[in-house]
Amino acid sequence: MTGAVYPVPPEVAARARIDRAEYDHRVASAAANPESYWMAEGQCLDWITPYTRAKATSFDEGDFGIRWFADGTLNVSANCLDRHLATRGDQVAILWEGDEPGETRRITYRELHAEVCRFANVLKGRGVRRGDRVALYLPMIVEAAVAMLACTRIGAIHTIVFGGFSPDSLADRLRDCDVRLVVTADEGCRGGKRVPLKANVDRAVANCPGVSDVIVVRRTGGAVTMVEGRDRWWDVEMATAAPDCAPEAMGAEDPLFILYTSGSTGKPKGVVHTTGGYLVWVTTTFRDVFDHRDGDIFWCTADVGWVTGHSYVVYGPLANGATTVMFDGVPNYPDHGRFWKTIDLLGVTIFYTAPTAIRALMREGEDWVTASSRASLRLLGSVGEPINPEAWEWYHRVVGDRRCPIVDTWWQTETGGMLIAPLPGATDLKPGSATKPLPGVLPEIVDAEGQVLSGACEGNLVIADSWPGQMRTLWGDHDRFFQTYFTTYPGKYFTGDGCRRDEDGYYWITGRVDDVINVSGHRMGTAEVESALVLHPKVAEAAVVGMPHDVKGQGIYAYVTLNAGEAASDELRQTLRAWVRTEIGPIATPDAIQFAPGLPKTRSGKIMRRILRKIAEGDTSSLGDISTLADPSVVESLVAERQ
């Protein structure tokens, strides 16, 4: 079915806030006069001090800098809560669905506002000040959104660590940005199993002298150890906290949050987003790409531990006064019908999930889907990795009953929000393509030398100019920020993705071109997994690459060289898998481990990953030139021993 085109359904175009003419008009006005275009876009927010200039950015080494709406001040929680109280105070802001069916909670804008103010006061009471870092290590519960918004209310910077990360990974992040206070829960629930969040925090904090306070939400009531003077219960603190707290006036360029993501080195990068530009970006992209209107029930299945959860579970929806679903479960618990039943139960109108989930559910057959009505749905979305046309077609035909357009949205932790995505009322869809850039976004495709390609072409994806939601720096390492993103192709932001553009100007992301792999929509640095493996006393060397995986998109394939005298065995394979799980977390568990007597290296000692990738892919017929290897014979034995 590749090559199929799905035109905008006329009834969708008729109702949409942006149709084709309006899209063309916006693209043209953003190009003709960027400053006035962005000045107007910034008006989607309530500002305390209005900005007098929108864009002040340069990607060039000499005057490098990224500043948006810089002299304006605002408060994120006031934009997400206070400004809605007069018109939609009693509307549900968050519809929470727990891990167990039947476990639900509805919280209105007015209630959410009071909770956020209370928790802001709790934070203040613990001595948290503007600019301090607060870490959240929480399940997908309402308290996660409350804690995020409470930080923004007082100008504290949050850093959310996904609950699947190990104590060591958590500790690395707490130390890197010098966290003062951690918010966690006794335990998390995932697919009927318990996750010992508080116990993990105890182990992490033991190595983080900077953490003076831990606040614990009671989620399961499971037994935990409370450390006198350091640990406090959320409910106890909230019971005596005042329900009002004036929002702090923050500069547009003050940091809003830090979110760690994987790069091509072993150390995760602390991506910093700031207040004004980020909120403008998630507010406008949520509104336009999901064509949001009053009465919508919006469900993004991402965890708040990832950027998608930040931008499209919490900030984008709430800034627009939407009703957002928070789901604390998994797609296959208690059975494979969970998503579709929940859509009926909550009356979901817009559903946004990842290709890996679609592929996993597709394997279970259509009956799970057709057992539900899904009559409330009007729009579907995809994010996190390229969606293969087959999964796209299934999502469209079976889940969306051919009625619902699919917005395949390409973006990154670094971009803050969507950059390449269809607008449902304006863009004809092609399964597998994220389609076209949003107005004001300037993608380019360059070849290895940095030559900008035109027309239909394939190469590396760069963005030629800044947009408001762009990350501003890496926490504590501005130099690394510049080096990582702006030196490969000087003067342009390098995305790390490969991309093809077709004759209609549609963009087709082909996947990462760096040492980052995408496992079930989660970013994993191969170097991170390698560092974890070589920490094991029996391992001498490790090289990790991605391999094709039917459900996860990519799986993790590890080549391991053991220390002299150590014997390879299935048992050791299992031990190493478990080792990586504890070092990093379950998402980093290798799918295959191949013991290798040696790794293919150049004479200068560089591991030839290209060859390892080919072997892992099972594509051993075209290994390319191996004559530059120090010892070409290792390749033969690697091929013979492929897992």
The verdict on 385 binding ligand 6R9 (CB under 6 A) reads: yes
The whole-angstrom distance between residue 65's C-alpha and the CA centroid of its chain comes to 24
- Nearer to ligand 6R9 by Cβ, of 216 and 461: the residue is 461
The verdict on 518 binding ligand 6R9 (CB under 6 A) reads: yes
Strand partners, 259: 271
Among 290, 410, 493, 559, binds ligand 6R9 (CB under 6 A): 410
The verdict on 99 binding ligand 6R9 (CB under 6 A) reads: no
DSSP state of 399: I
Number of residues that bind ligand 6R9 (CB under 6 A): 24
The verdict on 497 binding ligand 6R9 (CB under 6 A) reads: yes
Burial class (CB in 10 A: 0-12, 13-18, 19+), 640: exposed
CB half-sphere exposure, 389, CA atoms < 13 A: 11
CB 272 within 8 A of CB 258: yes
**What phi, psi does 387 have (nearest 5°)?**
-100, 125
What are the strands of the beta sheet with 181-185, ordered from one edge? 231-233, 213-217, 181-185, 133-137, 157-160, 255-261, 269-274, 473-474
The verdict on 384 binding ligand 6R9 (CB under 6 A) reads: yes
Chain positions 427 to 486 lying near ligand 6R9, rule: CB under 6 A, are 434
Q: CB of 203: closest distance to ligand 6R9 in angstroms?
A: 26
**What phi, psi does 446 have (nearest 5°)?**
-120, 155
- Of 236-244, 304-312, 451-459, 574-582, which part binds ligand 6R9 (CB under 6 A)? 304-312
Q: CB of 25: closest distance to ligand 6R9 in angstroms?
A: 25
Identity of the residue numbered 547: M
Residue among 205, 248, 262 nearest 229 (CA) = 205
The verdict on 412 binding ligand 6R9 (CB under 6 A) reads: yes
- Of 204-212, 391-399, 509-517, 617-625, which part binds ligand 6R9 (CB under 6 A)? 509-517
CB 261 within 8 A of CB 268: yes
Q: CB of 161: closest distance to ligand 6R9 in angstroms?
A: 14
Residues of each annotated binding site for Mg(2+): 534, 536, 539
- Of 106-114, 361-369, 408-416, 486-494, which part binds ligand 6R9 (CB under 6 A)? 408-416
- Of 470-478, 480-488, 490-498, 621-629, which part binds ligand 6R9 (CB under 6 A)? 490-498
CB 591 within 8 A of CB 555: yes
The verdict on 523 binding ligand 6R9 (CB under 6 A) reads: yes
Long-range contacts from 8-11, C-beta under 8 angstroms, 24+ separation: 8/405, 8/424, 8/425, 8/426, 8/427, 8/428, 9/403, 9/405
Among 307, 407, 446, 474, binds ligand 6R9 (CB under 6 A): 307
The verdict on 512 binding ligand 6R9 (CB under 6 A) reads: yes
Residues of each annotated binding site for CoA: 190-193, 308, 332, 520, 581
- Of 130-138, 168-176, 202-210, 404-412, which part binds ligand 6R9 (CB under 6 A)? 404-412
Alpha helices (H) along 310-451:
316-319, 338-346, 355-362, 367-370, 389-394
Residue among 512, 519, 592, 515 nearest 359 (CA) = 519
The verdict on 413 binding ligand 6R9 (CB under 6 A) reads: yes
For ligand 6R9, the binding residues (CB under 6 A) are 261, 306-308, 382-386, 408-413, 434, 495-497, 509, 511-512, 518, 523
